[in-house]
Amino acid sequence: MKHKKNKNLIQGIALERIYRLMDLAIENWEKHSDRSIEYLKLMKKIGMRNKVKIPIEVKKLYCKKCFSLLIKGKDKEVRVKNKVLLVKCRKCGNTKKVFLKKRKENFVLGITGGIGTGKTTVLNELEKKGFNVFNTDKIAKKEMDKIKEEIKELFGKEVLTKQGIDHKKLAKIVFNNKKKLKELNELIHPLVKKKIEEEIKGIKKTALEIPLLFESGMEKLCDKVLVVYSEKEKMIERKKDKITKEELLKRISFQIPLKEKIRKADYLIENKGTIKELQHKINELEEKIKEELK
C-alpha cells in the first residue's frame, strides 16, 4: 500500500512537471524555439521514465517527430481529405491524421470556472440563444433534500431545519474542513450526475453550469468545456454581498487551480468588462458551437 501511494505521488509530481514544461515551451516558442524543443523533449523523457502518459490536450500541441509547437495558422497546415483531418508540421513535414467525428445530434457544453467569474450570467445568455440550461448547484440542493437523514448523520442535526437543509450552515462546515467537503461531494456528485444524464436525454443543445466540473469528473458528460475566468479582484467584488473575501479565497483554495482549468478547457471567456462585452464573447462562442453541430 505504501509503495502504491509513493508511486502515485511520484507520478503526480511528474504530471505537474509535464504541464509546467509545456507552459515554458509555449512561453519561449516565439523567441527561443530551440529552447522550447528541449523543454518538450525533456517532458517526454519525464513521462517515459515515470510511466506517465502525456495528456491528450498537451500531446496535440506539438509535433511528435521534431517537437515543434503546432500553433494554429502559423506552424501547422490543416486540411480535410476523405473525412480525415490532416495536420502537417510546417517545420519537418510530418503529418498526423485525426479522424473526424460524425455529426452530433446532441451537444452538451459544460461551463465551469472560479467563484464569481460570471458562469451563471453566461448560462443565462446561452438560454436566450436556445440552449436548454441546467445549474448543477440547484440540482444538488434538490438531491440533498431527498437524503436529509444521511446529511444529518454526516454533518450533525444543526444543518437541518423544519424547512429542510440549512445550506449556509452546511457550507460553513465543509468549507472549513476538506475531509467533510470530500464526504459531501462523494455523497452528492453521483446523484447529480445521474439526474443530469436523465434530464439531457434527447436535447439538441444543452449547457450545464458545473462549478466542480473537473473535481467531480463530470467533464465526461460534456462534448466541450467552457472555462469562464476573471481576476480575483473582480471575483471578490461580484460576491462581496454574499460572502467575505476570506471565505471566497478559502473556497477557491479548495478547488483545482484556475490555471489548470484553463489548460483543460476547449473554450475560454475572460469576463472582465461590461455585460455588452461579455455578450459579444458569447456570440463568438455560439458561432464556434454551430461549427461543432454541422
Query: What does the pLDDT read at residue 195?
Result: 93
* Rounded mean pLDDT, 169-181: 88
Query: What does the pLDDT read at residue 104?
Result: 61
Query: Percent of the chain, pLDDT > 70?
Result: 92
Query: Percent of the chain, pLDDT > 90?
Result: 39
- Point out which residues pair with 80 in neighbouring strands: 85
183 touches 147 (CB < 8 A): no
- The 3-state secondary structure of the chain, one letter per residue: CHHHHHHHHHHHHHHHHHHHHHHHHHHHCCCCHHHHHHHHHHHHHHHHHCCCCCCHHHHCCECCCCCCECCCCCCEEEEEECCEEEEEECCCCCEEEEECCCCCCCEEEEEEECCCCCHHHHHHHHHHCCCEEEEHHHHHHHHHHCCHHHHHHHHCHHHEECCEECHHHHHHHHCCCHHHHHHHHHHHHHHHHHHHHHHCCCCCEEEEECCCHHHHCHHHHCCEEEEEECCHHHHHHHHCCCCCHHHHHHHHHCCCCHHHHHHHCCEEEECCCCHHHHHHHHHHHHHHHHHHHC
Q: Which amino acid is at 212?
A: L
* Rounded mean pLDDT, 245-251: 86
Q: Which three cell numbers stand for residue 216?
A: 467531480
- Point out which residues pair with 200 in neighbouring strands: none
* Rounded mean pLDDT, 202-216: 91
* Rounded mean pLDDT, 106-135: 93
pLDDT at 218 over 80: yes
pLDDT at 44 over 90: yes
Query: What does the pLDDT read at residue 72?
Result: 65
Q: Which amino acid is at 87?
A: V
* Rounded mean pLDDT, 189-202: 91
Query: Exposed e or buried b for every residue in 136-173, given b needs 16+ CB within 10 A?
Result: beebbbebbeeeeeebeebbeeebbeeeebeeeebbeb
* Rounded mean pLDDT, 235-245: 86
Length of the chain: 294
Residues 6 or more apart whose CB falls under 8 angstroms from that of 245 comprise 236
Q: How confident is the model at residue 239 (pLDDT cuts 50, 70, 90)?
A: confident
Calpha distance 270→281 (Å, rounded): 9
pLDDT at 294 over 80: no
Angle formed by the axes of helices 167-174 and 148-155, nearest 10°: 40
Q: How confident is the model at residue 178 (pLDDT cuts 50, 70, 90)?
A: confident
77-105 tens-digit pLDDT = 777 776 677 888 888 988 877 665 555 66
43 touches 51 (CB < 8 A): no
* Rounded mean pLDDT, 154-173: 87
Q: How confident is the model at residue 175 (pLDDT cuts 50, 70, 90)?
A: confident
Backbone phi, then psi, for 164, in 5-degree steps? 135, -150
Q: How confident is the model at residue 191 (pLDDT cuts 50, 70, 90)?
A: very high
Calpha distance 272→270 (Å, rounded): 6
49-58 tens-digit pLDDT = 999 989 878 8
267-289 tens-digit pLDDT = 999 998 899 999 999 999 998 88
**Gap between the terminal Cα atoms of the chain:** 49
pTM over 0.75: no
Mean pLDDT (the chain) is 87
User: Do β-strands 224-229 and 267-270 pair in parallel, antiparallel, or remain unpaired?
Assistant: parallel
Query: What does the pLDDT read at residue 232?
Result: 86
147 touches 251 (CB < 8 A): no
pLDDT at 47 over 80: yes
